Structure 1
């Protein structure tokens, strides 16, 4: 996984190298701020002359200023690279998800996908901005300290310092390493589950309130929260142990160096100046090794999030783009025939076939109804036609062409689906109406609203089409949302229009008026997925889905 992330970082290698270099200079300046006073005290202890006070102050100010500037350069270059890489990661994720949609939402849940696109991507930033440069300096700074100690005092103290550095690094890296990755992976999954629960609760808030299920839903969230808390508790224990180890190695290092160096200084083998310099290198190099401590805390979470993102990116799409797509041929400019030939389908992960050997043909420009009990497979027909899924057997055709031979973009441009619970975006009514037809004129928008019986609602609103609807259309009733979605469907003017229970929230008079105006609103082939008999009186053909099979039924008489 680390190699995968390094591959992604190639485009920002220059900035990341600059960040590592600037961090090295920052830590060297910090070490010098401790070593220089130690050198001064050592010279005094050895009876040697020290620079004037003004020079000492100037050196200290220069080191402090240099440390501040290099720290700023490190943060600026590192985060610039990290944020650029985060942008690339999000774009990459969206590009990978587009071929998976919309089936990926049904299989994984919108909340989990949102968590991956936000929290998981943000956690990967830790690797780019707070891992690469610290890892470099965690090697360079201690190595420099060992080399300087060898030069000043000889091999004994240098080897002692080297062994302490190696032991400290091994302890900080190995402390809880086995459980950290598993705990981080469990935490990532639990946070995704929590995001999905909250997403579901927000979407179904009205039903939850009506059924008085607030406590039941809260208990589900509490259970996931408790699981996240357990994972966090284990991580906190490891954090405390690493913090203790991060301080403990410095105490051990000072003790060992004094034990080895003080007799040499007393014997005159080395000066007190050299001994104090070496002792000052311990706290001076501590920030470099502290990066390993922080790495042990943040890296497992970053790798777990990266693995989750990679799993999403490498998911196989339920439907594949054809290698050589053919153009869409429709029998008429405004309408296209729709046909199913021996189609059988069962949802992935289930054994039951929702549809079995379905044969159905709807002529161009016809208005047909598909009826059946809930779960009989009515909406599945629409999903197969738009290639949310592909059938396990048989063919689905648009205008006589197998939909698997058409590009997904071209196919879905020729079909508009208006659902019972339409998706509305935050913004104005106008923005929602123009979502699929941004070039539509004001006159076309108002005409579509009249055809959908939505014009009266707009006229009653002080700001008309510019009325803000709130999140997910919260300011509109269920009936208004359906009529807005129907007007949006009319505006798109696609050759096939699928209406999935779009009059379910309408009163009988409004429903009748919508159906009466429909022939004037569209010349497309209309497929109405419905239950109500009032809808059936306005169609030319009726197809009933029963136990996965389909049969033609006579529409009710006009006066029935």
Structure 2
């Protein structure tokens, strides 16, 4: 997984290398700001000459300026690389999700996907922006310190410092290593579940309020929050132990240097200058080794998030683009014919067969209805026709061609689905209407609104078509939202139009008027999915579906 994580940064390798180099110089300057005064004090203690005050001040100012400039260069290059990587990761995730859509939303949930696109990507970015370069310097600076200590106070001092550095690194990495990975994975999954719960509650806020289920839903969120809190407490304990180890190794190093160095000073093998310089190397090296502590925090989170993103990216799509796709053009004769041939289907992960041996043919321009009780498989027919899923058996055909051989773009350009609970995007009513055909004229927009019985509602709005319906259409009634979606469907003028319970939120008079205007509004092949008998008086063919089995049904007599 670490290899996979590093492979993500190939495009930003140059900037990350620059960031690491700048950080190395920054830490060297910071170390020099401690070591140079220690050297001066040691020289004074031994009665040796030191540079003049002006020179000392100039050196200290120069080191401080160099540290500031290289620190800026480190942050600029590191964050430039990280933000470029952030963009690449989100674009890459989006590109990976396109072949998985729309089935991925149904199987994983929009909240979990949003959590992956935000929190998981951010955690991977933090690893590269704040961890990768510091870890490199966490190796280079201690090695340089060991080398300098060996030169000044002998190999024994260098070996002692090296042993302490290695023990400190092992402790900082090893404390809670296994539990950190497990906890981070748990936190990633729990945050995804929490995001999904919140997303579901926002979408169903009206039902939750009506049923008085606020406490029940809040309890589910509290339970997930408690799980996150428990994981956070475990993480905090590990971080506290690492912080203690981060301070403890410095105390041990200083004590060891004094223990080894004082006898060397008394024996005349080294002077106070060398001892003070070696002592100064310990706090001078501490900022570099602190990156190891940060690694123990960020690496498990980054690995867990990267694993989650990789799992999402490598998920097999429910449907795949054909290797030699067939294009079905809307103007072709027969482009609007729809057939189901011995189609059987069950949703992945379940044993229940939703459709069984379905045979159905709808001719171009025909208006057909599929009726049945909730859960009987009506909407599944629409999902199969638009290739949200593929059947386990049989063929679904458009214009006489198995849709598995048709380009997905071409297939979905030929079919429009108007759902019972339509999705409205942020923006105005006009922008929602133009979602499928942005080049539509004002006259075409108004004609579609008249056909959907929406013109009166728009006329009553102060800003007309430029009215904003609010988040998820909150300012519109259920019936208005359905009629808006229907007008959008008419405006697209695709050869096949699927209307899934689109009059369920309408009063009987509006429903009757919508159905009366439909023949004038569209010449498409219309498949109406419904359980209201009122719509059946306006269709040519009726099919009834029951427990996955489809059969032709008698239409009610006019006026029935």
Q: Give the TM-score normalised by the residue count of structure 1.
A: 0.99
**Residues 1:348 and 2:348 are matched in the alignment:** yes
In the aligned structure 1, how far is the partner of 2:297 from the partner of 2:335?
60
**Alpha-carbon contact 2:334-2:399 (below 8 Å) kept:** no
Report the equivalent of 2:156. 156
1:311 aligned to 2:311?
yes
What does residue 220 of structure 1 align with? 220
Deviation digits for residues 243-266 of structure 1 (CA, Å, limit 9, x no counterpart): 000000000000000000111112
Indicate conservation of the 8 Å contact 1:93/1:117, yes or no. Answer: yes
Deviation at 1:274, TM superposition (A): 0.8
Shift of 1:503: 0.4
Instruction: Tell me, in whole angstroms, the C-alpha distance in 1 between the residues paired with 2:362 and 2:330.
Output: 13
Aligned pairs for 1:496-511 (under 5 A) are: 496-511=496-511
Indicate the residue corresponding to 1:7 in structure 2.
7
Partner of 1:201: 201
How much does 1:150 deviate? 1.1
Structure 1 equivalent of residue 108 of structure 2: 108
- In the alignment, what sits opposite 1:27? 27
Q: Work out the CA distance in 1 between the residues paired with 2:364 and 2:378.
A: 20
1:145-165 CA distance string (max 9 Å, x none): 011111112111111111111
Which residues in structure 2 correspond to 1:307-386 (within 5 Å)? 307-328=307-328, 336-386=336-386
Shift of 1:557: 1.6
Query: Conserved in 1, the CA contact under 8 Å of 2:469 and 2:476?
Result: yes
Q: Residues 90-127 of structure 1, C-alpha deviation per residue, up to 9 Å, x if partnerless? A: 11111111111111111101100000001100010112
Written as runs of structure 1 = structure 2, the 5 A alignment for 1:177-326 is 177-326=177-326
Structure-2 change in CA distance of 1:330 and 1:400 (3 Å): farther
1:49, CA displacement in angstroms? 1.3
Partner Cα separation in structure 2 for residue 16 and residue 79 of structure 1: 9
Distance 1:295 1:32 in 2: 25
Inter-partner Cα distance in structure 1 for 2:404 and 2:291 = 53
Unaligned runs of 5+ in 2: none
Residues 319-328 or 353-362, more deviating: 319-328
The answer to whether the 8 A contact 2:97-2:313 is kept is yes
Question: How far, CA to CA, are the matches of 1:557 and 1:74 in structure 2?
Answer: 79
Which residue of the partner structure matches residue 88 of structure 1?
88
Aligned to 1:132: 132
Partner of 2:459: 459
Shift of 1:131: 1.8
Q: What residue in structure 2 maps to residue 71 of structure 1?
A: 71
What is the RMSD computed on CA atoms of the aligned residues?
1.0
Matched position secondary structure for 2:136: helix
Encode CA deviations 1:186-236: one digit per residue, 9 max, x unaligned. 000000000000000000000000000000000000000000001000000
Where has structure 1 moved over 4 Å in runs of 4 or more?
329-335
Could you tell me which residue of structure 2 aligns to residue 416 of structure 1?
416
Q: How far apart, CA to CA, are the structure 2 residues paired with 1:541 and 1:137?
A: 75
Compute the displacement of 1:424 (Å).
Answer: 0.5
Cα distance in 2 between the residues matched to 1:559 and 1:349: 45
Contact 1:326–1:407 (Cα < 8 Å) also in 2: yes
Q: Structure 2 length as normaliser, TM-score?
A: 0.99
Mapped contact 1:109–1:196 kept (Cα < 8 A): yes
Q: 1:86 and 1:250 mapped to 2: Cα distance?
A: 36
Q: Is the 8 A contact 1:331 1:364 kept in 2?
A: no
CA contact (8 A) 1:332 1:364 kept: no
* Partner deviation per Cα, 1:425-483 (whole Å, 9 max, x = no partner): 11110111111111111111111111101111111111111111111111000000000
Deviation at 1:270, TM superposition (A): 0.5
Q: Quick check: 1:334–1:524 contact (8 Å CA) kept in 2?
A: no
SS at structure 1 position matched to 2:8:
helix
| Structure 1: gaps (5+ residues) | none
Question: Would you say the 8 A contact 2:329–2:335 is kept in 1?
Answer: no
Residue 16 (structure 1) aligns with: 16
Q: Alignment partner of 2:119: what SS?
A: helix
Could you tell me how far apart the structure 2 residues matched to 1:361 and 1:392 are? 19
**SS of corresponding position for 2:459:** helix
Q: Distance in 2 between matches of 1:510 and 1:174?
A: 69
Q: Distance in 2 between matches of 1:114 and 1:178?
A: 28
The Cα shift of 1:166 comes to 0.6
> Structure 1 residue 178: deviation in Å?
1.1
Q: Size of the alignment, in residue pairs?
A: 560
The SS at the match of 1:315 is: coil
Contact 1:333 1:495 survives alignment (8 Å) = no
Tell me, in whole angstroms, the C-alpha distance in 2 between the residues paired with 1:552 and 1:499.
Answer: 19
The reply to whether residue 121 of structure 1 matches residue 121 of structure 2 is yes
Q: What is residue 539 of structure 2 aligned with on the other side?
A: 539
Aligned mates of 2:331, 2:364 — CA distance in 1: 7
